[in-house]
Structure 1
Amino acid sequence: MDTFLLSRIQFAANISFHILFPAITIALAWFLLFFKIQYNRTGDEVWMRAYRFWIKIFALSFALGVVSGVTMSFQFGTNWPGYMDTIGNIAGPLLGYEVLTAFFMEATFLGIMLFGINRVSNRVHTLATFLVAVGTSLSAFWILALNSWMHTPTGFEMRDGVAFPVSWWEIIFNPSMPYRLMHMLLASGLTAAFLIAGLSAYRILKGDHKPAPRLTLRAGVFAAAVLIPLQIVMGDLHGLNTFKHQPAKVAAMEGLWDTREGAPLVLFALPDETERRNRFAIEIPNAASFILTHDWFGEVQGLNDFEDEHPPVAPVFWAFRIMVFTGLLMLAISWTCTWKLWHKKDLSPRMLKILVAMSFSGWVGTLAGWYVTEIGRQPYLVTGLLRTRSAVTDIEPGNVATSLTIYLTIYVLLLFAYMRTLFLMARKAVEVDRIDEGQTLQQRINPVTQRER
């Protein structure tokens, strides 16, 4: 394993770990704002209890996202110096805008959310929650503007091998940016919705009879039921945009080797890059052409048209199917739960256990989607402009292997600790509710003694 491969694995590990936490916090901030507005509107303390519980999870997720993001950015200098040397004039300002306009706002007002709830007015605290939610989405805007530009670069010119901005409007709002941004925001919404529903279901299974977990479970399930159809539509639009600007990626996603009119939709296959064909393929005739061109006999380019300019097929092919399968599973579960809750039926213990199992399903879909996107851009770091191999460092492979081992060890431990902590927090909330319930019962039995105390 050379420096190039080790550096790719290391960056993949870093981005995979990092993206887990923004995938939660981007949308969870808006859920918190919803809880707070509901409390302000109704005066029902249940909404504030939900807010207080979920803000702790938001803070923990935000902290891990910040730390892993800083670590990831260091690799631009340590592992990929050619990246900043070539496009630093574009990447640097966009990353700077994200820090100046989003991160500072999030960090500042998160402090008010966490520690100012009894120190500032309710209106100021609600405003702080709103600004944190805006900040998380604004952060996603700038990061995805840069990432999208790497896929569909526009608004620049090359001078002596270095990219210089010509139009910041074209750079920021490049052809794939709106689709990629909306796709990610909806993915975050689904990630947070299933996490809320899953942990709420866990609390109910553990005997929490308070209204708060039932209220948040309904919020998570209903949000997922609304968001998943929107995500399917946006995914289709994003795919059509990718088909227009990155046809090699789409060919890898579909497992199509030869250019065909009336291309089939490959449901299952084992792509063989050596013989450049699919083994054990299960196909729907003409369906890929219809999806991509809206014509049953439309032409779809195959991988053989791109020679060595296409991404590795198997990872993109399978990651795409995992993403789609996860989305369909989310659709089935969220709509089933919504139908039962809408008809005033309690969810069965089996359905609650399914929701618990789906708590981190958003991570699966998000990671699979990112692998499709990022591996699908290969062999380029910036499409048509900078090859990945041209940007890698020339340090010894042993140094990269050492840092990679350390990263993987820490990330596995942190991920295990994070997931365990969330369920411990949920279990602790159940225990606190039982104590509160017991105190309330005692107050009803002996109110005089309670007043004396």
Structure 2
Amino acid sequence: MFEGFDPVLLARIQFAFTVSFHFFFPAFTIGLASFLAVLNGLHLATGRQVYRTLFQYWVKIFAVSFAMGVVSGIVMSYQFGTNWSVFSDRTGPILGPMMAYEVLSAFFLEAGFLGVMLFGLNRVGKGLHMFATLMVAIGTLGSAFWILSVNSWMHTPAGYGVAANGQFVPEDWWAIVFNPSFPYRLAHTVLAAYLTTAFVVGGVGALHLLRDRHNAAARTMFSMALWMATVVAPAQIFMGDAHGLNTLEHQPMKIAAMEGHFETNRDGGMPLTLFGIPDMEAGRMRNAISIPQVGSLILTHSLDGEVRGLDQFPREDWPNVWIVFFTFRIMVGIGFAMLGIGLWSLVRRFRGSIYEDRWLQRAAVAMAPSGFAAVLAGWMTTEVGRQPYTVYGLLRTAESHSPVAASAVGTSLLAFIVVYFVVFGAGIYYILRTMGKAPSVFETGPDPREPIRTAGITPGPAMDVADGAVAGARTGA
């Protein structure tokens, strides 16, 4: 069935498919674990029931997402042995211990305290439950630390030597772990995870506000999520620029592909190409829409700064410019759209009408999945831009593959596609169904009508307060 297919290409498609599924869940759970810790802390500090309600609402979603992330991650690890055994053998002395550190430190921390966080709310003390929630949040960040250190080393290898058998061996663990691109990649990815979670939480809050603008829990999560978007989106744009400058220093060919920069600019600055059609055969950008000199200004902080084009590198080393060029623009476009939503919400917040702007709420619902699209586009930009290497400049992808026939790789790829869509489709359906149920709160703390009165909205029956307590409240998950 797969005769004539390239087994290396099939193996790359298989890994790309499985890692794309996997990437969705950590991108969500990293931010959601921190959000749960904040909710738990606010409940302890203020005593407001709304924060406990939101904690209980989102912790169920976190549990399912975390489980699917673990399962999809295990599947990926098997592929290193089945499809990429040469890569595993060559890089094992360096990457193996780092993956073990992730399991022994971060994953054990997450798994060890997960049960207490999920089921201990009414079974252990509030302080212990808060500690467990914090440990899960720290564990997710720890996992991100080690996994991104491994990935960054593949892009900017450092602190290694080469043994007689061709294996990469450690010489300086500090240089290996904190390799040149790691700090930028870690900050960029964690901020992306926080934005992804913020827009999911904000979209769910907006959905329930469109259905019932008096829902106190929906108002709280909508407000908190938009505060996060307002603060983190500009920080992410700044960090993205810093990451780009680091990439220009260590992977200039990737930057050239991202910018569609085929010819080195020697007479004047490099333009910023907003859109165009990369022509790899001709080595040029067709139908380009660009802004003169702005590309040089961004990358070199000079209007006439020289930026190396793809013509400075062997053609056999070029990545797929089509994929890198367009996925980079998708990521950046979504980032600026997130910034726009954050600024829009800030204006409405200062005007006291953030809960009444139906168009803002509709936009938040539409933007709910935007973080996932951005992290997937960013991952494709990064990983395709590293090609044709698995370890940049040292080990080619074609040399990393196992001696496995195309039929075996293709058959397992089809099996993965079927199983993933059935199993993970069911999990995602459950998550979406849970999100579709409105959170309700029996507020015994400060009067939940107060922000509604401030905005000039008449409280509904479910918000009536008598003798300092809510007389009626909606029930539900």
- Answer whether TM exceeds 0.5 for this pair: yes
SS of 1:429's partner is coil
SS of 1:428's partner is coil
Aligned to 1:9: 13
Aligned to 1:26: 30
Distance of 1:347 and 1:370 partners within structure 2: 36
Aligned to 1:360: 369
Aligned to 2:154: 150
Q: Which digits, 9 at most, give the CA deviation of each residue in 1:324-364, with x for residues without a partner?
A: 00001111112212321332102433322221111111001
Please say if residues 245 and 299 of structure 2, whose CA atoms lie closer than 8 Å, have aligned partners that are also in contact.
Answer: yes
Aligned to 1:380: 389
Match among 226, 230, 234 for residue 231 of structure 2: 226
Distance of 1:310 and 1:191 partners within structure 2: 31
Please say if residues 259 and 305 of structure 1, whose CA atoms lie closer than 8 Å, have aligned partners that are also in contact.
Answer: yes
Match among 178, 187, 197 for residue 192 of structure 1: 197
Aligned to 2:170: 165
Aligned letter for 1:213? Answer: A
Aligned to 2:284: 277
**Superposition map of 1:132-151 within 5 A:** 132-151=136-155
Aligned to 2:455: none
**Superposition map of 1:403-442 within 5 A:** 403-429=412-438
Please say if residues 3 and 393 of structure 1, whose CA atoms lie closer than 8 Å, have aligned partners that are also in contact.
Answer: no
Please say if residues 64 and 431 of structure 2, whose CA atoms lie closer than 8 Å, have aligned partners that are also in contact.
Answer: no
1:243 maps onto 2:248 in alignment: yes
Aligned letter for 2:276? Answer: A
Distance of 2:317 and 2:436 partners within structure 1: 51
SS of 2:122's partner is coil
Deviates more, 1:331-340 or 1:205-214: 205-214
Distance of 1:263 and 1:424 partners within structure 2: 49
Aligned letter for 1:243? Answer: L
Instruction: Quote the offset at 1:264 in angstroms.
Output: 1.0
Match among 83, 88, 94 for residue 84 of structure 1: 88
Distance of 2:436 and 2:325 partners within structure 1: 39
Aligned to 1:124: 128
Aligned letter for 1:188? Answer: A
Please say if residues 76 and 84 of structure 1, whose CA atoms lie closer than 8 Å, have aligned partners that are also in contact.
Answer: yes
Deviates more, 1:343-352 or 1:152-161: 343-352
Distance of 2:175 and 2:253 partners within structure 1: 23
Aligned to 2:259: 254
Distance 1:420 1:343, change over 3 A: farther
Match among 300, 312, 321 for residue 307 of structure 2: 300
Aligned to 1:37: 41
Instruction: Quote the offset at 1:28 in angstroms.
Output: 1.0
Please say if residues 286 and 296 of structure 1, whose CA atoms lie closer than 8 Å, have aligned partners that are also in contact.
Answer: yes
Q: Which digits, 9 at most, give the CA deviation of each residue in 1:396-418, with x for residues without a partner?
A: 11111111112122333445434
Q: Which digits, 9 at most, give the CA deviation of each residue in 1:27-66, with x for residues without a partner?
A: 1111111111111111111110011101111111100100
Match among 263, 271, 280 for residue 264 of structure 1: 271
Aligned to 2:332: 324
1:177 maps onto 2:186 in alignment: no
Figure out how many residues of one structure are paired with residues of the other and give that number: 441
Please say if residues 83 and 401 of structure 2, whose CA atoms lie closer than 8 Å, have aligned partners that are also in contact.
Answer: yes
Please say if residues 341 and 347 of structure 1, whose CA atoms lie closer than 8 Å, have aligned partners that are also in contact.
Answer: no
Aligned letter for 1:138? Answer: G
1:215 maps onto 2:220 in alignment: yes
Alignment root-mean-square deviation, CA: 1.9
Q: What percent identity do the matched residue pairs reach?
A: 46
Distance of 1:350 and 1:2 partners within structure 2: 49
Please say if residues 214 and 463 of structure 2, whose CA atoms lie closer than 8 Å, have aligned partners that are also in contact.
Answer: no
Match among 343, 348, 370 for residue 357 of structure 2: 348
SS of 1:174's partner is coil
Aligned to 2:105: 101
Distance of 1:187 and 1:388 partners within structure 2: 28
Distance 1:208 1:393, change over 3 A: farther
Distance 1:205 1:421, change over 3 A: farther
What are structure 2's unaligned runs of at least 5 residues? 443-459, 472-477
Please say if residues 50 and 441 of structure 2, whose CA atoms lie closer than 8 Å, have aligned partners that are also in contact.
Answer: no
Q: Which digits, 9 at most, give the CA deviation of each residue in 1:95-150, with x for residues without a partner?
A: 00000001111011110011111111000000001111100000000000010000
Aligned letter for 1:176? Answer: S
Instruction: Quote the offset at 1:214 in angstroms.
Output: 0.6
Instruction: Quote the offset at 1:382 in angstroms.
Output: 0.2
Aligned to 1:451: none
Match among 331, 342, 356 for residue 334 of structure 1: 342
Match among 265, 289, 295 for residue 296 of structure 2: 289
Distance 1:227 1:375, change over 3 A: same
TM-score, structure 2 as length reference: 0.89
Higher helix share: 1
Aligned letter for 2:337? Answer: L
Q: Which digits, 9 at most, give the CA deviation of each residue in 1:213-259, with x for residues without a partner?
A: 11011000110110000000000000000000000000000001111
1:47 maps onto 2:55 in alignment: no
Q: Which digits, 9 at most, give the CA deviation of each residue in 1:188-233, with x for residues without a partner?
A: 0100000100111112223373311110110001101100000000
